Structure 1
Amino acid sequence: MKHIVLVESYPIVRAGIAMLITESMSETYQIHTADSIEKPFPKDPDIIILSVNADAIAELGKKITLSKIRCSKSKLIVFCENMTYTDISNLIASGVSGFVSKRSEFEQLTTCIREIEIREYFFCTELIGLIISRFVSPQNAILPEKRHKLSSREIEIASYLVKGMKTSDIAVQLDRKPTTVSTIKNNIFKKMNVNNVMALNEVMTKLHL
């Protein structure tokens, strides 16, 4: 029996993730949970999952360092919202093996757990799209200011998108038709030369929007 440690600060979220992993992988893995990487858990687990909210990604470096000190042989998975290409690059350098967005289907996390046992790295489908878009359109990272021609309304909707809001929710928020918001979203992607919300978030961060 292999061991997984799930680190998540919110009890309800932690219990939910643990339950879903247990339901699909109980024959192979035993899961232990902790609300902090500093808390006691079994020595040298096979995998440590660091579940992090978007506003706490800056703290990941410290958590990864502590994980490596405590469990140098454990594989690390980051389960997080709104990772950018730069975040991924830095995390790879820090020793992280698995990358799964919380916006992905949950099966992506269980697939990651299985895959990093036999592969060096695993990226969920959404993050693969982000990485590919970086290389397909390298000019995106060089001169983002030349693409910035968004209206105030487009900037407002873009900010809602990178916060994780759905088109239907944004429509309610702005008292607009969902089709109108969807059209504006497509225009934003076209103007910013991106094809997903993760890439949009990275560009907006660079433009300080």
Structure 2
Amino acid sequence: MRDIKILLADDHAIVMEGIKEVLSADEEISVVGTVANGEEVIRFIRRNPNSVDVVVLDINMPVMDGISCSRQLKKEFPELKIIILTMYAQKSFVEEIVKLGIDGCLLKNNTGKELIDAVLRVMSGKQYYDRIGTFNSDEEEVTQYKLSERELEIIKLLSEGMTSGEIAEKLFLSGHTVKTHRKNILRKLNVSNSSQAVQFCLSNQLI
């Protein structure tokens, strides 16, 4: 029987515990560690280079996101298998991770069986991108999230490091109006903070 060693990375503890429970139920799989961001992933692998077969990581994490982490891991540990979990069904996103040589991609709402299937397949030397045919095109993504020109303008300024107060002054808006726009952006994109909103828009070339 194989013992596939997996490192999990997700900044939402409840989500990570659920994933850990699903994977640990399979006799061939062992979860050897859980971390909360990309930097912790890299530190773990560097300290334990032979103790991990597959890294399963969320795309949106603080400190270092899943894409940046994967890029670094593929440089340092090319034999390491990487599976990305995302809540966004976007073709442009998939194109980016395929270029990086990431081994698999699943939506976070997939079943536990699909995640186990993905782990087993990447360990056999294959890729797992079974659902990408249903992912949205770039044009559909923009329509789907219905960001206004003002909201895109605010995200662009956030990406440049500006605060709400600085944005309000630059755009001749009240601080309250800017904060309202920011709340609407997070709601439309279904993300929890402005960093994730910026990352989403950069990844999809919206700004």
Q: Which of the five TM-score ranges fits, normalised by the shorter chain? A: 0.5 to 0.7
2:42 to 28, 38, 41: 38
Tell me, yes or no, if structure 1 residue 62 matches structure 2 residue 64: no
Residue 6 and residue 39 in structure 1: after superposition, are their counterparts in 2 closer, same or farther (change >3 A)? same
In 1, Cα distance between equivalents of 2:122 and 2:69: 19
Query: How far did 1:70 drift?
Result: 4.1
Deviation per residue, 1:91-148 (Å, 9 max, x gap): 11111010000122232211111122235321243x3312xx65xxx9x58xx99x89
Q: Which residue of 2 aligns with 1:29?
A: 29
The superposition leaves residues 179-205 of structure 1 with CA deviations (integer Å, 9 ceiling, x where unpaired) of: xxxxxxxxxxxxxxxxxxxxxx99xx6
Q: Match of 1:12?
A: 14
Identical-pair percentage: 13
* Alignment partners' CA distance in 2, 1:124 and 1:161: 26
1:124-163 matched pairs, under 5 angstroms? 124-125=130-131, 127-130=132-135, 134=137, 163=190
Aligned-residue offset at 1:160 = 6.2
Structure 2 vs 1, CA of residues 206 and 70 (structure 1 numbering), >3 Å: closer, same or farther? closer
Q: How many residue pairs are counted as aligned between the two chains?
A: 154
Paired with 1:11 and 1:207, the residues of 2 have a C-alpha distance of: 30
- Report SS of the residue matched to 2:106: strand
**1:49–1:78 Cα contact (<8 Å) kept:** yes
Please list every run of 5 or more consecutive structure 2 residues that lacks an aligned counterpart in the other structure.
149-185, 192-199
Where does residue 195 of structure 1 map in the other structure? none
Structure 1 segments unaligned to the other structure (5+ residues): 153-158, 165-200
Partner in structure 2 of residue 121 of structure 1: 127
CA displacement at 1:9 relative to structure 2:
2.5
Aligned residue for 1:30, secondary structure, equals: strand
Q: Report deviation, 1:77.
A: 0.3
CA contact (8 A) 2:59 2:67 kept: no
How far does residue 15 in structure 1 lie from its aligned partner after superposition? 2.3
Give 1:109's aligned amino acid.
L
Q: How does 1:145-184 map to 2 (within 5 A)?
A: 163=190
Q: What TM-score, normalized to structure 1?
A: 0.57
Gap change, CA 1:117 and 1:161, over 3 Å in 2: same
Q: What is the TM-score with the length of structure 2 in the denominator?
A: 0.57
Cα distance in 1, alignment partners of residues 130 and 190 from structure 2:
19
Say whether the 8 Å CA contact 1:52–1:79 is kept in structure 2: yes
Cα separation, partners in 2 of 1:121 and 1:59, compared to 1, 3 Å:
same
CA RMSD of aligned residues (A): 3.9
